[in-house]
């Protein structure tokens, strides 16, 4: 059962709290509908404060429309609690709109001649990583459990990869299944230079006394077991060719206890453990193993609050985190570690989180 952040609603309440609120929910849906959208558009940002939507909407949602929404939902002119901060408006130059836009700068030929396996390639961070590697000349073995996502990737990326000498091989496979892992390895062939373990799922923000076996087992199976199983199969290929690079996608939840529920937090701490153990084991054998810990990223990942305690503890803390970024910004960090540019880096956990980990 999904439980709500308690009323009253403010602009600092999470998008999820607004959607689940008996008055705020219908009003927010109405606002979305007036822009030709529905609530599925908000899935990646459900955990963020409502006020972040202005900056994230790229002009589709104005600050005035948001104020009007809050007024109608709460009947209040001053909708901000006395202790709440306004990170985007307190300092005008802090607004993302005032900053120069980041631009992806492709490094031609950085992965030429290399086979790079990327999991979770159908969506979000994995898709952006697969795309960047292919556009930098790599042969990408793009893995996902959802076939139509890979078809869309192939249609979009295939011709662009071909144009720069890159290649895309898609494999519909579940990284938690032995036959899925076997098919990935077969498609990759013996000469695998790099592996990006990106596939992962979020939990439902439950503390340990509320987590269900189903959520715990799913999160651990995909985030930990799947990552381990594919790495276990690919590392011997890297050892056979004298070296390689593995990048595991962890999370801010690997660095702190306040970014997710018990299951996801535990799983991502385990990913860091696997990363460090492997870096030590293979360091002298030429295989580098690193992790990237993303902060909030706008992707298709699903997260929900199924716990009142989780919503109160985690939802409140999420109000102060950095802006969510585009998956391409994570791909920039991941491809750095995958590439020879990171020749001297192993066992690192690179926080790619806009500075969240420094807070």
C-alpha angle 354/100/336, rounded to 5°?
A: 50
Residue 53, both tokens = 């939507």
SS3 (DSSP) at 182: helix
Output the smallest distance, CB 143 to ligand NAD, in A: 6
109 prior amide bond cis, ω within 30: no
Q: With CB under 6 A as the contact rule, which of the stretches 8-16, 28-36, 134-142, 248-256 interacts with ligand NAD?
A: 248-256
Q: Which of 24, 49, 124, 138 binds ligand NAD (CB under 6 A)?
A: 124
Output the smallest distance, CB 314 to ligand NAD, in A: 14
Running DSSP on this structure, what letter comes out for residue 5?
P
Instruction: Decide: is 306 part of the binding site for ligand NAD (CB under 6 A).
Output: no
Q: Which of 7, 27, 152, 301 binds ligand NAD (CB under 6 A)?
A: 301
b/e sequence 235-267, b meaning 16+ C-beta within 10 Å: bebbeeeeebbbbbbbbbbbbbeebbbbbbbbb
CA distance 262 to 309: 12
Show Cβ contacts of residue 82 under 8 Å, excluding neighbours closer than 6 positions. none
Residue 62's CB is within 10 A of a number of other CB atoms, namely 11
* Residue placing its CB nearer to ligand NAD in the complex, 123 or 265: 123
In sign, the C-alpha dihedral spanning 44, 46, 48, 54 is: positive
CA distance 322 to 359: 10
The active-site residue out of 18, 264, 282, 356 is 264
Q: Which of 49, 122, 244, 310 binds ligand NAD (CB under 6 A)?
A: 122
Residue 249, both tokens = 């996608």
Instruction: Decide: is 199 part of the binding site for ligand NAD (CB under 6 A).
Output: yes
Q: Which of 49, 244, 296, 310 binds ligand NAD (CB under 6 A)?
A: 296
Q: With CB under 6 A as the contact rule, which of the stretches 71-79, 170-178, 282-290, 307-315 interacts with ligand NAD?
A: 170-178
Instruction: Decide: is 49 part of the binding site for ligand NAD (CB under 6 A).
Output: no
| Residues facing 291 on adjacent strands | 248, 349
To the query of whether residue 282 is one of the catalytic residues in this protein, the response is no
Instruction: Decide: is 281 part of the binding site for ligand NAD (CB under 6 A).
Output: no
Instruction: Decide: is 290 part of the binding site for ligand NAD (CB under 6 A).
Output: no
Q: Which of 266, 299, 333, 352 binds ligand NAD (CB under 6 A)?
A: 299
* Residue placing its CB nearer to ligand NAD in the complex, 10 or 266: 266
Q: Where do contacts with ligand NAD occur on this chain (CB under 6 A)?
A: 119-120, 122-126, 143-146, 149, 174-176, 198-201, 222, 226, 249, 251-252, 294, 296-297, 299-301
């Amino acid at each position: 059962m999904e439980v709500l952040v308690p009323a009253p609603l403010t602009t600092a309440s999470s998008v999820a709290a607004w959607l689940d609120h008996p008055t705020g929910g219908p009003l927010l849906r109405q606002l979305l509908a007036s822009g030709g959208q529905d609530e599925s558009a908000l899935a990646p940002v459900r955990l963020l404060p409502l006020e972040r939507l202005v900056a994230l909407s790229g002009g589709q949602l104005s600050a005035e429309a948001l104020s009007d929404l809050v007024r109608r939902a709460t009947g209040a002119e001053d909708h901000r609690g006395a202790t709440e901060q306004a990170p985007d408006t307190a300092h005008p130059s802090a607004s993302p709109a005032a900053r120069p836009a980041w631009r992806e700068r492709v490094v031609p030929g950085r992965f030429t001649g290399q086979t790079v396996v990327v999991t979770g390639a159908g969506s979000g961070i994995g898709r952006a990583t697969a795309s960047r590697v292919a556009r930098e000349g790599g042969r990408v073995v793009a893995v996902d459990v959802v076939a139509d996502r890979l078809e869309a990737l192939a249609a979009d990326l295939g011709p662009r990869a071909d144009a720069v000498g890159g290649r895309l091989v898609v494999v519909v496979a579940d990284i938690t299944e032995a036959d899925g892992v076997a098919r990935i390895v077969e498609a990759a062939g013996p000469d695998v230079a790099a592996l990006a373990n990106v596939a992962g799922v979020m939990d439902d923000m439950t503390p340990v006394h509320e987590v269900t076996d189903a959520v715990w087992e799913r999160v651990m199976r995909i985030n930990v077991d799947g990552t381990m199983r594919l790495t276990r199969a690919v590392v011997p290929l890297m050892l056979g060719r004298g070296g390689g690079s593995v990048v595991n996608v962890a999370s801010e939840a690997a660095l702190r206890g306040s970014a997710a529920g018990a299951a996801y937090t535990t799983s991502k701490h385990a990913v860091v453990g696997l990363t460090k153990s492997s870096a030590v084991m293979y360091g002298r054998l030429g295989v580098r193993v690193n992790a990237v810990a993303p902060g909030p990223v706008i992707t298709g990942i699903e997260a929900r609050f199924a716990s009142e305690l989780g919503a109160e503890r985690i939802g409140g803390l999420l109000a102060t985190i950095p802006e969510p970024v585009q998956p391409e910004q994570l791909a920039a960090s991941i491809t750095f570690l995958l590439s020879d540019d990171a020749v001297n880096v192993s066992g690192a956990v690179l926080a790619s989180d806009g500075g969240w980990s420094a807070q």
